[in-house]
Chains A and B, each alone.
Chain A
Amino acid sequence: MQNNNYNWERKTNLRIIKELIFWSAAVILFFYCWQIISKLTMWPFVYDGAEQAGKLLSRMFPPNWSYFPELLSPIWDTITIATLGTMAAVVFAIFVAFLAAKNTTPHPLLRQLALLIIVTSRSVNSLIWAIILVIILGPGVLAGIIAISLRSIGFVSKLLYESIEEIDKNQVEAVTATGASKFSTLIYSVIPQVFPTFVGTTVYRWDINIRESTVVGLVGAGGIGLQLNESILGLKWPNAIIIFMMILSLVFLSEFASAKIRKLII
Chain B
Amino acid sequence: MLKISELHKEYPGGDLALKGVDFELNEGEIAAVIGPSGAGKSTLIRCINRLVDSTSGEIYLNDNEINSLDKKELKNIRKKMGMIFQEYALVERLTVMENVLSGRLGYVSFWRAWLRKFPQADINHAYQLLDRLGLKDHINKRADQLSGGQRQRVGIARALIQDPEILLVDEPTASLDPKTARNIMSLITNLAEERNLSALINIHDVILAQEYVSRIIGMRDGKIVFDDSPDKLNKDTLTTIYGEEDWETIERNSSQEKNNDEGGEDIAGFSRKKLQMAASSSNKK
**When the two chains form their complex, are residues B113 and A188 in contact, meaning their CB atoms are under 8 A apart?**
yes
Set of chain A residues within 8 Å of B51, measured between Cβ atoms: 173, 176-177
Name B74-90 residues within 8 Å CB distance of A.
Answer: 75-79, 81, 83, 85, 87, 89-90
- In the assembled complex, how far is the CB of residue A197 from the closest CB belonging to chain B, in whole angstroms? 11
**When the two chains form their complex, are residues B110 and A179 in contact, meaning their CB atoms are under 8 A apart?**
no
Q: Taking each of A178, A188, A195, which has the highest tally of chain B beta carbons within 10 Å of its own beta carbon?
A: A178
**When the two chains form their complex, are residues B102 and A175 in contact, meaning their CB atoms are under 8 A apart?**
yes
* A184-B113, A187-B113 as given contacts; A195 in contact with B93, CB under 8 Å: yes
Closest A residue to B103 using CB positions: A178
How far apart are the CA atoms of A233 and B47 in the complex, in Å? 73
**When the two chains form their complex, are residues B91 and A188 in contact, meaning their CB atoms are under 8 A apart?**
yes
**When the two chains form their complex, are residues A184 and B90 in contact, meaning their CB atoms are under 8 A apart?**
no
Set of chain B residues within 8 Å of A185, measured between Cβ atoms: 105
Set of chain A residues within 8 Å of B85, measured between Cβ atoms: 170, 173-174
- In the assembled complex, how far is the CB of residue A30 from the closest CB belonging to chain B, in whole angstroms? 47
A181 at the interface (CB under 8 A from B): yes
Q: Which 3 A-B pairs have the closest CB atoms?
A: A179-B106, A180-B105, A179-B78
A183 at the interface (CB under 8 A from B): yes
Set of chain B residues within 8 Å of A168, measured between Cβ atoms: 92
Can you show 19 pairs from A to B with CB atoms below 8 A apart?
A171-B89, A171-B90, A173-B51, A174-B83, A177-B51, A177-B81, A177-B83, A178-B83, A178-B102, A179-B77, A179-B78, A180-B75, A180-B102, A184-B108, A192-B92, A192-B93, A193-B91, A195-B93, A196-B93
Set of chain A residues within 8 Å of B114, measured between Cβ atoms: 187
A227 at the interface (CB under 8 A from B): no
How far apart are the CA atoms of A179 and B162 in the complex, in Å? 9
A189 at the interface (CB under 8 A from B): yes
How far apart are the CA atoms of A178 and B83 in the complex, in Å? 8
Set of chain A residues within 8 Å of B215, measured between Cβ atoms: none
Number of CB contacts from chain A to chain B under 8 A: 83
**When the two chains form their complex, are residues A178 and B91 in contact, meaning their CB atoms are under 8 A apart?**
no
How far apart are the CA atoms of A173 and B87 in the complex, in Å? 12
**When the two chains form their complex, are residues A170 and B89 in contact, meaning their CB atoms are under 8 A apart?**
yes
B158 at the interface (CB under 8 A from A): yes
Mask: chain A, 150-184; 1 = CB below 8 Å from B; 0 = not = 00000000000000000010110111111111011
Closest B residue to A190 using CB positions: B91
- In the assembled complex, how far is the CB of residue B117 from the closest CB belonging to chain A, in whole angstroms? 13
- In the assembled complex, how far is the CB of residue B144 from the closest CB belonging to chain A, in whole angstroms? 11
How far apart are the CA atoms of A195 and B92 in the complex, in Å? 12
B146 at the interface (CB under 8 A from A): no
- In the assembled complex, how far is the CB of residue A198 from the closest CB belonging to chain B, in whole angstroms? 12
**When the two chains form their complex, are residues A183 and B78 in contact, meaning their CB atoms are under 8 A apart?**
no
Mask: chain B, 116-140; 1 = CB below 8 Å from A; 0 = not = 0000000000000000000000000
**When the two chains form their complex, are residues A184 and B79 in contact, meaning their CB atoms are under 8 A apart?**
no
**When the two chains form their complex, are residues A178 and B94 in contact, meaning their CB atoms are under 8 A apart?**
no
B202 at the interface (CB under 8 A from A): no
**When the two chains form their complex, are residues B79 and A178 in contact, meaning their CB atoms are under 8 A apart?**
yes
Set of chain B residues within 8 Å of A179, measured between Cβ atoms: 75-79, 105-106, 162
**When the two chains form their complex, are residues B93 and A178 in contact, meaning their CB atoms are under 8 A apart?**
no
Q: Taking each of B79, B81, B108, B110, which has the highest tally of chain A beta carbons within 10 Å of its own beta carbon?
A: B110
How far apart are the CA atoms of A78 and B93 in the complex, in Å? 36
Mask: chain B, 45-82; 1 = CB below 8 Å from A; 0 = not = 00001010000000000000000000000011111010
Mask: chain A, 226-247; 1 = CB below 8 Å from B; 0 = not = 0000000000000000000000
Name B155-189 residues within 8 Å CB distance of A.
Answer: 155, 158, 162
Instruction: Give which listed residue, B110, B155, B162, contacts A184 with CB less than 8 A.
Output: B110
